[in-house]
Chain A
């Protein structure tokens, strides 16, 4: 680790308690704490308030496998899927836990809470990916394996170019170990609003609409799945994901029991999260307010509906906040100004065209390259902004040249923290249409599962809900704030947003 990163860690460690002051850390849910999860709860965050709705009513968490430390390392599912963090986990909460426990919380377990399990456990530098970007280590076999364990002959070879965490070159955990493994670093996704992430509606069929390959099948129903659950789509269903997570993150000694899986997935199917208030705009869920906002609207609406149109909309605001009156009350006026900004941000998201270029599984699926469209073109699922169809794309968050890299020069000691891989498409395989035969990537994404050259660096897009509660953003945490997220798109696609457009878009995203 460089001096700069050690300094960064030291600074936030000393400042963490102060910085955390506006938001209570008592919202942390410890494994096995046994308190009930109410039917409806709200949690403060930097931008306002998040709502968590359990449509099945108050949940007794005592003995519940989502909330109990059912593995060997003291973690529960809830450790990384905190209600206050939109059923995901913010880097802010991670840092608070480090400060509160001196790094002893099970959250920091060596299996994936460290940059590599062979590092000294009590040293914050061993956990720099988690502490700085909220990233957990995801160890995947190479070559890829099918669900039945058989090996896939990949279309590409892979080499480790840069290994700052020393895990991919480690003789025990690395690519050349007895069990060849590739370690990538990713954010945990929200375990909520799952009727949208697992829908069986528009765009789901036996063959993937983006490349014609067979879709993953739900082994219980025999039906194809939307493959939108995880960043690399490796788990077809909530049940498979639960078991995968239990083994790899909770270090359970055996597979989950049928009863445990049923209780976990039953909980996950009925919990909804969304922002319900913003500090500047006030309540987002007033009666007769915009129907896009709040967990109750999410729970009530239809899943898997294409919203990139003017009949259903991705996030329907129903024109509620487009033009609001000015009164003699400055407080009301300030609130209305903020609400109008949210409405404008929606219009930027929905209607502001730009040229989308060289994005795999977007420009390659019949739209042409480039295509003049809007944010809602890709983020088209009604109420979530996900892709209705199998949603992995490469927008450049992990593939060079667009991925965020540390600028190296003689005047800085900053060193890259993300691994870097060189992927070479084999002879006889069509080159990647936008990156060619040799691709440099921080995370091969879906390519590590499918073995397909065109999938290298593709990441399943995530739902847009509860964003204010769970920074940082993108699968590799490369955008610390929503503004950085917007700036990435502006840079990537040469959009040329005005400052007002950026602010409005940030306000809109933060209201979801």
Chain B
């Protein structure tokens, strides 16, 4: 399971984004773009667009949505790690669409990332965003209904592995409450006696060839934190086996986000 996937097809594909600016460079579709840069927010008549520049080109990252969105906007005041694939979709808000895209807010403050652009008619979204800038029409932007209630223990597998994804150099955040709840409920349902947590440290091979590695002890910290959180939520009876692994050497520039994870085996 990945907390940050792609923008839902229902959100943008079904719409008719405004075409603007140059098209996508010939042959660029499918190209991987991994880089760190300042995000840019552009206002529109409805919701803002989030963009960024890299090597003289403007890229569209996402629109403002709500907490259910699989891709959540970056933050001004911080640089953002972008791991995306050039899409064939028409430009949105002037930017080449990266889809799928994974965004990680870099932890240190960077006051130079402060670009807010005003609304311009030529950049208005021509589709209805899944979530307006104010009150919704009674639903969340994306289908994020809670998982079905845990089945009775005799109807469940005796073991189950969960994958917990992370932003770059990050521990548990707001987007982990759901997967942690799933783990907790499964462990309770099967009366788990053993929980094995493997925390991984990853890296990203950027498009310029540089490899950006996570902090050295990130795998260990992830595993230890997950164990502490599950215990803190009341899951104290199982034995916890905590291991950490370093997969930073596996960074290839393709789906490197998947290296940043923890695997949790509940049995």
Residues of A within 8 A of B (CB): 205-215, 217, 222, 308-313, 350-351, 353, 355, 357-358, 363-374, 376-377, 430-431, 433-434, 436
Contacts and interface: CB of A to CB of B under 8 A. Distances in A.
Interface string B42-61: 01000110100000000000
A369 to B, nearest CB: 4
B150 interface: no
- The interface residues of chain A, by DSSP majority, are classed as loop
19 contacts: A206-B184, A206-B234, A207-B176, A207-B177, A212-B177, A213-B232, A215-B233, A217-B234, A355-B116, A364-B174, A365-B174, A366-B72, A367-B66, A368-B48, A368-B73, A373-B133, A374-B134, A376-B134, A436-B109
Interface in B190-238: 229, 232-234
B50 A212 contact: no
B173 interface: yes
B258 interface: no
Given A372-B64, A433-B78, A308 B135 contact: yes
Interface of B: 41, 43, 47-48, 50, 64, 66-67, 69, 72-78, 105, 107-109, 116, 133-139, 170-177, 180-181, 184, 229, 232-234
Contacts of B180: 206-207, 212
B75 A433 contact: yes
A367 B63 CA distance: 10
Contacts of A206: 180-181, 184, 233-234
Contacts of A372: 43, 47-48, 64, 133
A372 to B, nearest CB: 5
B138 A368 contact: no
Contacts of A373: 133-134
Contacts of B66: 366-367
Given A370-B76, A373-B134, 15 more contacts: A209-B174, A210-B174, A212-B173, A212-B177, A309-B137, A310-B138, A353-B133, A363-B75, A367-B67, A368-B41, A368-B73, A371-B48, A374-B133, A374-B135, A430-B107
Grouping DSSP codes into helix (H, G, I), strand (E, B) and loop, the B interface class, with mixed when no group exceeds half, is: loop
Nearest to A354: B133
Contacts of A367: 64, 66-67, 72-73
A211 B134 contact: no
Nearest to A313: B135
Given A212-B176, A365-B67, A433-B75, A350 B134 contact: yes
Nearest to A352: B134
Contacts of A210: 174
A212 B105 CA distance: 17
A215 B41 CA distance: 33
A207 B233 contact: yes
Contacts of A213: 172, 229, 232
Contacts of B134: 350-351, 353, 373-374, 376-377
Nearest to B234: A217
A212 B41 CA distance: 27
A431 B108 contact: yes
**4 residue pairs, one from A and one from B, having the closest CB atoms:** A368-B73, A311-B138, A369-B75, A212-B172
The winner among B50, B133, B174, B232 for most chain A CB atoms within 10 A is B174
Nearest to B215: A428
Contact of B175 (A363, A366, A371, A376): A366
Given A207-B176, A368-B41, A214 B138 contact: no
Contacts of B177: 205, 207-209, 212
A368 B50 contact: yes
Contact of B69 (A205, A211, A353, A366): A366
A362 to B, nearest CB: 10
Contacts of A357: 76
Contacts of B234: 206, 214, 217, 222
B136 A211 contact: no
Contact of B232 (A214, A358, A364): A214
Contacts of B74: 368-369
- Most chain-B CB neighbours within 10 Å: which of A214, A353, A433, A434? A214
A389 to B, nearest CB: 9
Nearest to B170: A430
B6 to A, nearest CB: 15
Nearest to B185: A206
Contacts of A430: 107, 170-171
Nearest to B233: A214
B174 A310 contact: no
A145 to B, nearest CB: 15
Contacts of A308: 135-136
A433 B77 contact: yes
A214 B43 contact: no
A194 B202 CA distance: 46
A379 to B, nearest CB: 12
Contacts of A312: 138
Residue of A212, A217, A222 ringed by the most chain B CB atoms within 10 A: A212
Given A214-B229, A374-B134, A368 B72 contact: yes
